[in-house]
Copies of this chain bind each other. A is one copy, B any other.
Amino acid sequence: MTEHFPAPELSYEDLTIGRRLRTGTIEVRREEMLAFASRYDPQPFHLEETAGQGSVFGGMSASGWFTAALTMRLMILGEFKFRGGAVGLGVEAIRWPRPVHVGDRLTAETEVAAMRVSESRPAFGIVKFVTTTTNQRGEVVMTKTANVLIPRRAAPPRSE
């Protein structure tokens, strides 16, 4: 299991609707999950087993923002790798249908749902990506729809 999934840098022109970008796999480690929750989402069910068991999660569970952050890491270390980088413009939806627990092994897949050249920034395309994060049992723990600014290749020189 590795979170690294070597892949070439892509540009807008390499994408097509329906193309899927894969990632490696990352394990949810207790220390990291607790450090994240302690700093960014310090609620008892993210920090204590007993509080988690008494909650709707049925056990100590990760903050949804931690799942989102781990998914972003997986993406950048995987095939979601763009020449010049990918700038998130906004998110249209995130769902967390199942909790994430210590020891879970997460992987993600991102599909190109829509794409167009930016009118205000013609050096970029605006791409709608749908990302699905799953655990070691293939259960979906997060879905995300986001609009991202993706660099286009330099325009070819005019043949004059």
Residues on A facing B (Cβ under 8 Å): 36, 39-45, 51, 55-57, 63-65, 68-70, 72-73, 76-77, 84-96, 121, 124, 149
Contact = CB atoms under 8 A, between A and B. Distances in A.
Contacts of A121: 56
A93 B90 contact: yes
Contact of A65 (B55, B65, B96, B149): B65
Contacts of A55: 84-85, 87
A128 to B, nearest CB: 13
Contacts of A95: 89-91
Contacts of A43: 76, 85-86
A73 B36 CA distance: 10
A93 B92 CA distance: 5
Given A40-B69, A68-B65, A94 B96 contact: no
Nearest to A41: B72
A96 B36 CA distance: 22
Contacts of A39: 69, 73
Nearest to A46: B85
15 contacts: A39-B69, A40-B69, A41-B73, A43-B76, A51-B85, A55-B85, A64-B88, A65-B72, A69-B69, A88-B96, A89-B96, A90-B94, A91-B91, A91-B94, A93-B93
